[in-house]
Chain A
Amino acid sequence: MWRTGSAFWGSLSQVVIVLIVGMVAAEFVLAQNHAFDLDGKAVDPFDAASGKIVVLVFLRRDCPVSSRYAPVIRRISAQHERDASFWLVFPDKTETPQTIRQYLRDYSYYLPALRDPEHVLVRLGQVQITPEVAVFNRKHELVYDGRVDNWYVELGRSRAAATTHELEDAIQAAADAKTPAMKQVRGVGCYISDLN
């Protein structure tokens, strides 16, 4: 079940973000602010990942940049399967388990998916755009949030291939118990705040 932080501020009616020397520990509470799996069950992506790196990948079905990243996400998640648990997170509250299941089939995703209608995970991961990722180290502290890589320069302009690989670098750093070189690099895609 939900773990509560050893110290948290604010009332129980809010998501609690615990700041530990500039990092955000993945602690969240309160029944109405859950992320849900595709069976409608409240899920804590950190629960099942004790001692593992957790990567949340934020996607919008109506964001073509999100979709183009499917093969990249599939590849990276397969490569780091041993060290990291990957979750696909859909922050659009109008999405249903059916539409998401179809999307996972279309894009050959075999990763667990979560609906995040109240943006609990969005706030926890400090993401703003789809596609962006939030990487939590083995202690489940947020160590990186932002773009997967620099494939896209801006909407409508993408490189032939990415030349920087922030997500993979962050996972590698977390696996080596180091701090990633980049803590945050904003992505190119669709605003999550447009869904509010």
Chain B
Amino acid sequence: MLYLGPELKNWRSKIVWALFLLGLGAAATLFANTPIFRMPTPASDPGSQVTFNRDIAPIIFRSCSTCHHPGEAGPFPLLTYSDVRKHARQIADVTEARTMPPWLPEPQELKFADDLHLPVSQIDLIQRWVEQGAVEGNAADLPPQPKFAEGWRLGAPDLILKAEKPFILPADGSDSYWNFIFRVPIEQTRWVKAIEIHPGDKRYVHHANILVDRGAMSRKREAEPGAGFGGMEIRIESQTFDPDSHLLFWKPGTVPYLEPDGMALRLDKGTDLILNTHMQPSGKPEVIQPTIGIYFTAQPATKFPMLLQLENDLKLDIPAGQKDFVVTDKFTLPVDVDLLAVYPHAHYLGRDLQAAAILPDGTQETLIHIPRWNLNWQAVYRYAQPVILPKGTTVGLRYVYDNSDDNALNPNHPPVRVRAGNRSSDEMCHLWLQVLPVNTDARQGDPRMLLQEALARHNIEKNPSDFEAHYNLAAMLQARSKIEEARREYEFALRIRPEDAAANNAMGSVLLASGQPGDAITYLMRALKARPDYFDARYNLGNALASQDDFAGASEQFRLALEVQPNDADVEANLGSALAEMGHFSQAKIHFERALQINPNHVLAKENLEELERATSK
């Protein structure tokens, strides 16, 4: 027999990453585009006259006007004396209470890039100004009003995408969480340097996150194409080792920023971007239709950051009425990293959120401390300078939850037992760390795999019945050709979720790769029972049957695979091989040619076609 059989090396497995809230970095230096205002230098004499023009305007222009100008999130402008005068006492109150400017972290040694924290001296100055009657002062003292760019802050984007259908935010009721799907119309892989998010009416959108959906998994959740779908927290499965790496976040006042040198987000044909938005009703119905502007770069990424998630949702089982419920997690880094940004996340019971790093020499650094958490002002916090965390550093979180009636934001009145979950009335205990592995040894392979493997092992330690941790660990081991260990982890995963389509398919692929097609078939059939349109499982089943010389069965599976995904060169080539094995040469030729139409460089199809021509010309 001259024909090459189906190429077993083409087996595919899907890796499910427990992914959530990921995207390309934003936030950045809030005032990068605005002039530096001189800071007030009032007389230290507390009795001296404070004036708007000399003392207050510089504070307002620097710390308030960015959001408080027309078209931005602030509900009223703060650009002139009369604007500020109309809210003077309110400004004194909210700055003293540190409600405004919205900045949750305490001051700390490690500085953040866009720190909005007002110094006490400025808060005191505003108090004195209001107490003294909010005097305007000498016109000559007034600094120039800040100028704000209109439209796209980064200039005209290379690609502008508008949500296909708007979301109508109801006038009343609780907060809304809506996801808009942007189908990115690109024909080949492009690298993204920045994405500017225009979330619709900024006054009502509290924050928005972009998630990268490489497998168009979220479309299934839309009632009709383009409609978007509800949900506060969403998960997206990924097909390949493509760990999320960037935090693409918008909150009021965010100025979009360009990724640093060497970093970029890869977008492939068929990738969807999901904009996850949190909105608050305004009292009247609002039409929310976001737009995003994408800026490409010709330079592919050379640096690959990764998002590490510390979490301990399993421990979130908070008795009704408990005031100080503490949850912790800690993880020791297996490689040197630069920490670029952090993103703490809890819901309405979260009160005090802290994260710290203990370096190998024992020194402790506070990474972030939010003593009075407020979900409405959650944000990604980017460090002014990368934080060097050597291998062996332990990063940890400590979150305190208040499930008593004293917590006014408690969604339940009276309080009830609360556990982890995706609804806003459930809780969460998450901390994302954006890290860039450094000082890596190329012989060790992709350092992100080492991080992912260590994280999966850590998660299994915390929760031996964590399906995703077993699955991800197995996938890491499989990628590093540790087939036996991978198989063991998939077995654990399948004990937890026996019917899971992805785990059954992955197990099938491991068995197939280790020369056990008979066993593989059982798992692959189970994967297809759970998900009949599972392309990869069809393909793998076709290969498994072909390995057992069941070419009729194999060609049936390949045909079914093509119904799910019509333009796949591998499937066409393998279908051709199976048909050739059965002696259906003319049909086989059609499929080899089709494979070559899809991919003119498809080696198997080319070789088999030549072989077929030789055989039939005899």
CB-based contact B281/A68 at 8 Å: yes
8 Å CB contacts to A: which residues of B400-422?
Answer: 408-411, 413
CB-based contact A190/B203 at 8 Å: no
What residues on B are CB-neighbors of A64 within 8 Å? 75, 203, 282
A62-B76, A156-B377, A157-B408 known; A67 vs B283 contact (CB < 8 Å): yes
| Number of chain A interface residues as a range | 20 to 34
Distance of A177 Cα from B87 Cα, bound (Å): 38
Q: Tell me if A112 is interfacial: C-beta within 8 Å of chain B.
A: no
What residues on B are CB-neighbors of A72 within 8 Å? 172
What residues on B are CB-neighbors of A155 within 8 Å? 90, 93-94, 97, 99-100
Least distance between A173 CB and chain B CB atoms (Å) = 23
What residues on B are CB-neighbors of A63 within 8 Å? 75
Q: Tell me if A32 is interfacial: C-beta within 8 Å of chain B.
A: no
Q: Which residue of B lies closest to A192 (CB)?
A: B89
A160-B174, A160-B411, A194-B86 known; A70 vs B376 contact (CB < 8 Å): no
Least distance between B73 CB and chain A CB atoms (Å) = 10
CB-based contact B75/A70 at 8 Å: no
CB-based contact A68/B283 at 8 Å: yes
Q: Tell me if A154 is interfacial: C-beta within 8 Å of chain B.
A: yes
What residues on B are CB-neighbors of A163 within 8 Å? 413
Distance of A188 Cα from B90 Cα, bound (Å): 10
CB-based contact B102/A156 at 8 Å: yes
Q: Tell me if B85 is interfacial: C-beta within 8 Å of chain A.
A: yes
CB-based contact A194/B90 at 8 Å: yes
Distance of A155 Cα from B87 Cα, bound (Å): 13
What residues on A are CB-neighbors of B425 within 8 Å? 160
Contact with B along A162-196 (1 / 0, CB 8 A): 01000000000000000000000000001101110
CB-based contact B284/A70 at 8 Å: yes
Contacting B284 at CB < 8 Å: which of A67, A190, A193?
A67
Least distance between A85 CB and chain B CB atoms (Å) = 22
Distance of A68 Cα from B282 Cα, bound (Å): 5
CB-based contact A190/B282 at 8 Å: no
Contacting A153 at CB < 8 Å: which of B171, B174, B284, B409?
B409
What residues on B are CB-neighbors of A159 within 8 Å? 408-410, 413
Q: Tell me if A87 is interfacial: C-beta within 8 Å of chain B.
A: no
What residues on A are CB-neighbors of B410 within 8 Å? 159-160
Q: Tell me if A107 is interfacial: C-beta within 8 Å of chain B.
A: yes
What residues on A are CB-neighbors of B408 within 8 Å? 153, 157, 159
Q: Tell me if B88 is interfacial: C-beta within 8 Å of chain A.
A: yes
Least distance between B60 CB and chain A CB atoms (Å) = 14
What residues on B are CB-neighbors of A154 within 8 Å? 97, 99
Least distance between B94 CB and chain A CB atoms (Å) = 6
- Count how many chain B residues have C-beta atoms less than 8 Å from C-beta atoms of the other chain: 33
8 Å CB contacts to B: which residues of A54-88?
Answer: 62-64, 67-72
Contacting A71 at CB < 8 Å: which of B94, B97, B172, B203?
B172
Q: Which of A72, A92, A155, A194 has the most CB of B within 10 A?
A: A194
Q: Tell me if A47 is interfacial: C-beta within 8 Å of chain B.
A: no
Q: Tell me if B53 is interfacial: C-beta within 8 Å of chain A.
A: no
CB-based contact A71/B174 at 8 Å: no
Q: Which residue of B lies closest to A64 (CB)?
A: B75
CB-based contact A62/B203 at 8 Å: no
Distance of A192 Cα from B180 Cα, bound (Å): 39
A62-B76, A71-B171, A157-B409 known; A107 vs B88 contact (CB < 8 Å): no
Q: Which of B87, B174, B411, B425 has the most CB of A within 10 A?
A: B87
Contacting A194 at CB < 8 Å: which of B87, B100, B172, B348?
B87
What residues on A are CB-neighbors of B413 within 8 Å? 159-161, 163
Q: Tell me if B374 is interfacial: C-beta within 8 Å of chain A.
A: yes
8 Å CB contacts to A: which residues of B583-603?
Answer: none
Q: Tell me if A39 is interfacial: C-beta within 8 Å of chain B.
A: no
Distance of A72 Cα from B282 Cα, bound (Å): 12
Contact with A along B98-112 (1 / 0, CB 8 A): 011010000000000
Contacting A108 at CB < 8 Å: which of B100, B102, B174, B284?
B284
CB-based contact A195/B86 at 8 Å: yes
Contacting B99 at CB < 8 Å: which of A69, A70, A156?
A156
Q: Which residue of A lies closest to B89 (CB)?
A: A191
Contacting B88 at CB < 8 Å: which of A92, A160, A194?
A194
Distance of A67 Cα from B281 Cα, bound (Å): 10
Distance of A159 Cα from B410 Cα, bound (Å): 7
Contact with A along B310-341 (1 / 0, CB 8 A): 00000000000000000000000000000000
Least distance between A161 CB and chain B CB atoms (Å) = 8
Least distance between B425 CB and chain A CB atoms (Å) = 8
Contact with A along B513-529 (1 / 0, CB 8 A): 00000000000000000
Distance of A193 Cα from B418 Cα, bound (Å): 42
What residues on A are CB-neighbors of B97 within 8 Å? 154-155
CB-based contact B89/A156 at 8 Å: no
Q: Which residue of B lies closest to A63 (CB)?
A: B75
What residues on B are CB-neighbors of A195 within 8 Å? 86
A62-B75, A153-B409 known; A194 vs B85 contact (CB < 8 Å): yes
Least distance between A127 CB and chain B CB atoms (Å) = 15
Q: Which residue of A lies closest to B405 (CB)?
A: A163
Least distance between B278 CB and chain A CB atoms (Å) = 14
Distance of A96 Cα from B283 Cα, bound (Å): 21
What residues on B are CB-neighbors of A62 within 8 Å? 75-76, 86
Q: Which residue of B lies closest to A61 (CB)?
A: B76
Distance of A106 Cα from B89 Cα, bound (Å): 28
A70-B171, A154-B97, A157-B409 known; A194 vs B89 contact (CB < 8 Å): yes
8 Å CB contacts to B: which residues of A11-66?
Answer: 62-64
8 Å CB contacts to A: which residues of B237-296?
Answer: 280-284
Contact with A along B370-391 (1 / 0, CB 8 A): 0000101100000000000000
Contact with B along A87-131 (1 / 0, CB 8 A): 000001000000000000011100000000000000000000000
CB-based contact B89/A193 at 8 Å: yes
CB-based contact A107/B283 at 8 Å: yes
Least distance between B306 CB and chain A CB atoms (Å) = 33
Starting from the known contacts A70-B284, A156-B376, A160-B410, 18 additional A-B residue pairs (CB-CB under 8 Å) come to A64-B75, A64-B203, A68-B281, A68-B282, A108-B171, A154-B97, A155-B94, A155-B97, A155-B99, A156-B100, A157-B374, A157-B409, A160-B348, A160-B409, A160-B411, A160-B425, A161-B413, A191-B89
Provide a sorted-by-A list of 15 A–B residue pairs whose CB atoms are within 8 angstroms: A67-B284, A68-B282, A108-B171, A155-B97, A156-B94, A156-B99, A156-B374, A157-B99, A159-B408, A159-B410, A160-B348, A160-B425, A163-B413, A190-B90, A194-B88
